[in-house]
């Protein structure tokens, strides 16, 4: 995996992540149709796509093709371009599509620049997650720390740090559920084991924002199984740059499991999750 990127190169990638997340985020709010419907379904009848998921991904594709013609692109709605530069952009044009459909203000555009093989072993080196309703722009680049930039009426920049909580019993814990009914049944079973051991559970409906909430200490810890690369590519870097740990069943997060938070809580929750499968 090419990890040899200069500070200037990382800075450029982070700037593009920020600019494109904001541009696409503004588009999905500004041009949201009055009667937004479901344009298509994917893995199950509840896994929906709206016309704005597609338009947002088209905008991200166009911009990336123009600005970074040698890079690869992988997007939730089908974007798939092989690059030659070693950088692949992993984008989620709307993370939290069901929230977007219901006009619940917890959805985001996620843009990450990654190195490695997007179908296998990859690593994010820059990323941004933008909630266009709240104006919260979370961003990070490798080695540069994680930040929350408020783009609202009173702009501000805050450095992010994960929670200082040490006790799983006091940990506000985020999670999410997939779209497949059988998978959800398993996730519900796991939840019955986790819920009695933590402060409480939150299911906000956007994995990208959940990871950013961990980075900002708004959640103590987070876990979910079944995430795709685009759900977590930007958010997981933002967590690690905020001093947290992101792991899976093994050291790396995977489709099987993504677990994020301060190291001590991640290890404690990992123990609980392991006991479910034992
Ligand atoms: C979903 C959201 C949700 C998570 C699901 C994801 P989408 O992404 O991130 O919070 O629980 O696993 O698929 O479909 O809204 O882009």
In angstroms, what CA-CA distances link 143 with 67, 127, 233, 245?
24, 12, 16, 14
Predicted confidence at residue 85, as pLDDT, reads 94
> For ligand 1, what atom is nearest to the CA of residue 94?
16
Compute the distance from residue 254 Cα to the ligand 1 centre, in Å. 15
Please provide the size of the chain in residues.
Answer: 278
> For ligand 1, what atom is nearest to the CA of residue 100?
15
> For ligand 1, what atom is nearest to the CA of residue 210?
10
Predicted confidence at residue 107, as pLDDT, reads 98
Compute the distance from residue 107 Cα to the ligand 1 centre, in Å. 10
Which residues approach ligand 1 with their CB closer than 6 A? 76, 92, 95-97, 176-178, 205-207, 224, 226-227, 231
Predicted confidence at residue 119, as pLDDT, reads 85
Compute the distance from residue 253 Cα to the ligand 1 centre, in Å. 16
Predicted confidence at residue 48, as pLDDT, reads 72
Residues 6+ apart with CB under 8 A from 103: none
Q: Are 222 and 173 in contact (CB under 8 A)?
A: yes
Compute the distance from residue 149 Cα to the ligand 1 centre, in Å. 23
- Report the alpha-carbon distance of residue 152 to residue 50 in Å, rounded: 26
Residue-by-residue pLDDT tens, the chain, 278 positions:
556 789 899 999 999 999 999 999 999 999 888 888 788 887 778 777 788 999 999 999 999 999 999 999 999 988 888 999 999 999 999 999 999 999 999 999 999 999 999 888 999 999 999 999 999 999 999 999 999 999 777 889 999 999 999 999 999 999 999 999 999 999 999 999 999 999 999 999 999 999 999 999 999 999 999 999 999 999 999 999 999 999 999 999 999 999 999 999 999 999 999 988 66
Best probe residue, ligand 1, of 207, 209, 253 (max atoms within 8 Å of C-beta)? 207
Q: Are 167 and 195 in contact (CB under 8 A)?
A: no
Compute the distance from residue 230 Cα to the ligand 1 centre, in Å. 10
- Report the alpha-carbon distance of residue 109 to residue 91 in Å, rounded: 8
Which pLDDT tens digit goes with each residue over 168-200?
A: 999 999 999 999 999 999 999 999 999 999 999
> For ligand 1, what atom is nearest to the CA of residue 231?
9
Predicted confidence at residue 37, as pLDDT, reads 78
């Amino acid at each position: 995996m090419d990890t040899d990127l200069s500070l200037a190169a990382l800075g450029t990638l982070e700037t593009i992540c920020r600019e494109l997340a904001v541009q696409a985020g503004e588009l999905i709010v500004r041009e949201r149709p009055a009667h937004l419907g479901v344009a298509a379904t994917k893995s199950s009848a509840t896994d929906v796509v709206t016309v704005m998921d597609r338009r947002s991904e088209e905008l991200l594709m166009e911009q990336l093709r123009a600005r970074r013609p040698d890079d690869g692109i992988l997007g939730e709605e089908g974007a798939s371009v092989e690059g030659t530069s070693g950088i692949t952009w992993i984008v989620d044009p709307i993370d939290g599509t069901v929230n977007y459909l219901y006009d619940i203000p917890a959805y985001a555009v996620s843009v990450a620049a990654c190195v490695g093989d997007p179908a296998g072993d990859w690593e994010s080196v820059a990323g941004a997650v933008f909630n266009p309703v709240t104006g919260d722009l979370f961003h990070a680049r490798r080695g540069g720390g994680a930040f929350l930039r408020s783009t609202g009426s009173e702009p501000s920049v805050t450095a992010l740090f994960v929670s200082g909580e040490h006790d799983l019993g006091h940990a506000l814990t985020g999670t999410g559920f997939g779209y497949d009914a059988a998978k959800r049944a398993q996730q519900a079973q796991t939840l019955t084991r986790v819920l009695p051991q933590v402060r409480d559970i939150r299911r906000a409906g956007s994995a990208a924002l959940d990871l950013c909430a961990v980075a900002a200490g708004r959640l103590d810890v987070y876990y979910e199984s079944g995430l795709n690369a685009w759900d977590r590519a930007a958010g997981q870097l933002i967590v690690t740059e905020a001093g947290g740990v992101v792991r899976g069943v093994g050291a790396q997060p995977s489709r099987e499991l993504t677990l994020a938070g301060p190291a001590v809580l991640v290890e404690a929750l990992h123990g609980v999750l392991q006991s479910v499968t034992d």
